[in-house]
Structure 1
Amino acid sequence: MSENQDLMKKIQLSFQRLSKGQKMIAQYIMDNYDKAAFMTAAKLGEKVGVSESTVVRFANVLDFEGYPQLQSELQEMIRTRLTTVQRIEMSADYSSEENTLKKVLKADIDNLRITMDSIDYKVFEASVKSITEAKHIYIVALRSSTTLADFLGFYLNLIRDNVYITSRSISDTFEMLFRVDKDDLVIGIGFPRYSSKTIEALHYAKSQGAKVLAITDSILSPLAANSDFTLTAKSNMESFVDSLVAPLSLLNALIVAVGIKEKNKVASSFAKLEEIWEQYNVYSNKEKNSK
């Protein structure tokens, strides 16, 4: 039984023993789980017409320690189910530009905090090691995650050889992956709603014996099913836009850690690059241009 069915089944099985107010909460959640998942206990109670304490007791009846745990499971349940239209409807609470700014920044701060608190440092270290040891590195990402692939690929290409970004089209992805083998690393990046093509590419890479690193939002992500290492970063956002702040920060940490491991090689590469950048005026130099 899937997690979605587990939670809904739990509510259904408990329905008969709930109080009148708790039944109203249960019915609202079953009918409007996408909206309830982002309501506070007070707001849910107000919407249903019961007290906040009734909402808390409802969570306890379902064997949750409190309402935040129930809310977290609801949010986990809907990660891959919300359509863009539903996500736009959820943005209705952004009532002003100032409120929008504060809510988005707070959500990103929360995503960063949760990511930092939940990171598995042993997996992070193993991921860094796999990047430094791989013969070839292929980065697979589609849709909004292509931004992350470009960022990671840009810096890894400055640190080491044989880094390929396969995010432009799925046909290009398989054409670039068809020689992948046990000495290579494939990095798959994907967040809800997950690209089915990214999942298929990781499955193929795994079948060829390559190591697979998944960078996604949860160990329950379908990208994790074919990975040797899974690094998670939260991307929750009550809007139609995906939050890439925590994922980008995680990639930043990976790049820095790899750079430290390859310190001598990085220093040599950047020394040569600085000469090229200077010679061909890659970067603006106001002081030089003013002379």
Structure 2
Amino acid sequence: MNDTRKNNDLINIIQQKYDDFSKGQKLIANYIVNHYDKAAYVTAAKLGEIVGVSESTVVRFAIELGFDGYPKLQKVLQELIKSKLTAVQRIEVSSNRINEDNILKSVLQSDMDKIKITLEQIDNSDFNNIVETILGAKRIFILGVRSSAPLASFLGFYFNLIFDNVRLVHTTSVSEMFEQIIRAQEGDVVIGVSFPRYSKRTIKAMQFAKKQGVKTIALTDSAESPVAKSADMSLLARSDMASFVDSLVAPLSLINALIVAIGMRRKKEVYNTFEKLEKIWDEYQVYEKDDGYGGEKL
């Protein structure tokens, strides 16, 4: 059984195999089933210490489940908890992961790591195919709610400067979301932005769009995320939880790359748009001008 399947069924597998485990393995199994949020971020030695078994017993337990070793089991547990932890559990878990003596360094270093992992794992051909799909769309619908709403808004803001056929679907109501994409049809593109904890509204809207024959693109963290499963194509960026806060630095960086790539392909249109906008911004004093006195007018 592959890791993808284990990611979905890990707890069920542990429960099904429970009677075949040794006494020590049963202790590990009980702890993981009841405290998977904590088990995901402790070493094999620490887990063994917590339940009262040796490190080697923990490693053998992971192998018994079909993993190459404990780190693979731990990785699956970390993926599993992304969509399951409550805000309270997130605070408890992050308190064990973040160095409270230097929170600034801990959080920024974690964000840097997520961008690095995203860069290493992203498929450039998938990225280019998505760029082509968006460029060829009749209309572009962008979905994103809750913590993903700022990402969707950022993407929508710049896409509106590049295209004249963009609609940002940003609502707190399930029915309103469907009402805003009801006319989406073949030839259009729906981009759904969703990171843990995944929004049911976005998932359902993507499923609806796909049934309508609309090309669907997911911006999410994993090919196994529910929004990716509802999409024809996916762009994946690693996200993380910094306490109760969603860390979405890598997703925003990926969105930046998408905007730049499309902007480069529509260079002439973008140039003309900004040429007009600069005149408008100047005429209506949208931006403060530096007059040599730090921006202050005498």
TM-score in same-fold range (> 0.5)? yes
Once the 2 structures are TM-superposed, how far is the Cα of residue 163 of structure 1 from its aligned partner? 0.9
Which residue does 1:67 correspond to in 2? 70
Correspondent of 1:98 among 89, 98, 101? 101
Q: Are residue 24 (structure 1) and residue 27 (structure 2) matched?
A: yes
Pair 146,45 (structure 1): closer, same or farther in 2 beyond 3 Å: same
Counterpart residue identity of residue 277, structure 1 = W
AA at the equivalent of 2:275: A
The amino acid across from 2:205 in the alignment is: A
CA positional deviation for 1:19? 5.1
More displaced stretch, 87-96 vs 261-270: 87-96
8 A Cα contact 1:107 1:237, kept in partner: no
| Paired residues of 1:94 and 1:100 also in contact (CA < 8 A) | no
Deviation at 1:239, TM superposition (A): 2.1
In the alignment, what sits opposite 1:179? 183
When structure 1 is superposed on structure 2, of 187-196 and 39-48 the one drifting more is: 39-48
Q: Given residue 65 of structure 1, which amino acid in structure 2 is its aligned partner?
A: D
Q: Partner residue of 1:222?
A: 226
Counterpart residue number, 1:233: 237
Q: CA deviation at 1:78?
A: 2.0
The Cα shift of 1:190 comes to 0.8
Paired position in structure 2 for 1:192: 196
How far apart in 2 are the matches of 1:93 and 1:45? Answer: 17
**Counterpart amino acid of 2:268?**
N
Structure 1: runs of 5 or more not aligned: none
Contact 1:237 1:243 in 2 (8 A): yes
For 1:96 and 1:202, how far apart are their aligned partners in 2? 39
Q: Which residue of 2 aligns with 1:168?
A: 171
Q: Distance in 2 between matches of 1:57 and 1:4?
A: 19
Task: Measure, in 2, the Cα distance between the counterparts of 1:230 and 1:273.
Answer: 33
* Aligned length in residues: 291
SS of the residue 2:288 aligns to: coil
Q: Which amino acid aligns with 1:74?
A: L
Does 2:46 match 1:48?
no
One-letter identity of the residue aligned with 2:82: R
Q: Deviations over 1:57-107 (max 9, x none)?
A: 332333322221110111122222111221122233367643322332232
2:215 — aligned with what? 211
Where 1:199 maps in the other structure, the secondary structure is: helix
Instruction: Give the TM-score normalised by the residue count of structure 2.
Output: 0.88
Question: Which deviates the most, 125-134 or 25-34?
Answer: 25-34
Assess if the C-alpha contact under 8 Å between 2:206 and 2:231 holds in 1: yes
User: Does the 8 Å contact 1:212/1:227 carry over to 2?
Assistant: yes
- 2:262 equivalent in structure 1: 258
Distance 1:281 1:80 in 2: 45
1:148 aligns with 2:151: yes
Q: Secondary structure at the match of 1:281?
A: coil
Q: What is the Cα deviation at residue 11 of structure 1? A: 3.1
2:103 maps to a residue whose letter is T
For 1:32, what is the secondary structure of its paired residue? helix
Q: 1:219 to 1:272 in 2, by over 3 A?
A: same
Gaps of 5+ in 2: none
Q: Distance in 1 between matches of 2:19 and 2:216?
A: 47
1:225 to partner: Cα distance: 2.5
The one-character-per-residue Cα deviations of 1:221-263 (angstroms, maximum 9, x if unpaired) are: 1112221111111112252211111111111111011011111
CA-based RMSD of the aligned residues comes to 2.4
| Equivalent residue runs for 1:102-121 within 5 Å | 102-121=105-124
Deviation (angstroms), 1:273: 1.6
Equivalent residue for 1:243?
Answer: 247
